[in-house]
């Protein structure tokens, strides 16, 4: 299995802050990396696919970058509705997820 290591596991930030989450793969996965948002009690929602492509309807404050083994997810200006847990997911082989990053408002 390809292991995905996300950091940090939790994060507290203020409204308007720039927030960055990283995800590292245990081997080269090219750009086969997606990002999801899961709000409490809800199903996950796809935000970013193929490392840097914004899913239709997702606000432009969300972005992704990276290739190979190192990837970054960024919220350019944190909004109260962005409180959620965020997961990366690789699909170079059978899909696997990172352990998640819980984002809270400071």
Partner 1 sequence: EVQLVQSGAEVKKPGESLKISCKGSGYSFTSYWIGWVRQMPGKGLEWMGIIYPGDSDTRYSPSFQGQVTISADKSISTAYLQWSSLKASDTAMYYCARQISIAARLDYWGQGTLVTVSS
- How many Å apart are CA 86 and CA 76, to the nearest integer? 15
Least separation, in Å, of the C-beta of 72 and partner 1?
A: 18
Structure tokens at 64: 């992704």
* Residue of 17, 14, 18, 55 lying closest to 37 (CA atoms): 55
Least separation, in Å, of the C-beta of 47 and partner 1?
A: 10
Considering only residues 20, 98, 104, 106, which one is a binding residue for partner 1 as defined by CB under 8 A?
98
Does 93 participate in binding partner 1 (rule CB under 8 A)? Answer: yes
Among all chains, which residue has been given the structure tokens 């082989």? 93
CA 33 to chain centre: 9
Nearer to partner 1, 16 or 94 (CB): 94
- How many Å apart are CA 2 and CA 5, to the nearest integer? 10
Considering only residues 37, 49, 64, 66, which one is a binding residue for partner 1 as defined by CB under 8 A?
49
Does 55 participate in binding partner 1 (rule CB under 8 A)? Answer: yes
Nearer to partner 1, 16 or 40 (CB): 40
Does 5 participate in binding partner 1 (rule CB under 8 A)? Answer: no
């Amino acid at each position: 299995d390809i292991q995905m290591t996300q950091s940090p596991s939790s994060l507290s930030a203020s409204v308007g802050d720039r927030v960055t989450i990283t995800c590292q793969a245990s081997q080269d996965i090219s750009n086969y990396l997606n990002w999801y948002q899961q709000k409490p009690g809800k199903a996950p929602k796809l935000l970013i696919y193929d490392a840097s492509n914004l899913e239709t309807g997702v606000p432009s404050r969300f972005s992704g970058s990276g290739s190979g083994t190192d990837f970054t997810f960024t919220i350019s200006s944190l909004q109260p509705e962005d409180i959620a847990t965020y997961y990366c997911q690789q699909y170079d082989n059978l899909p696997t997820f990172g352990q998640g990053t819980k984002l809270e408002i400071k």
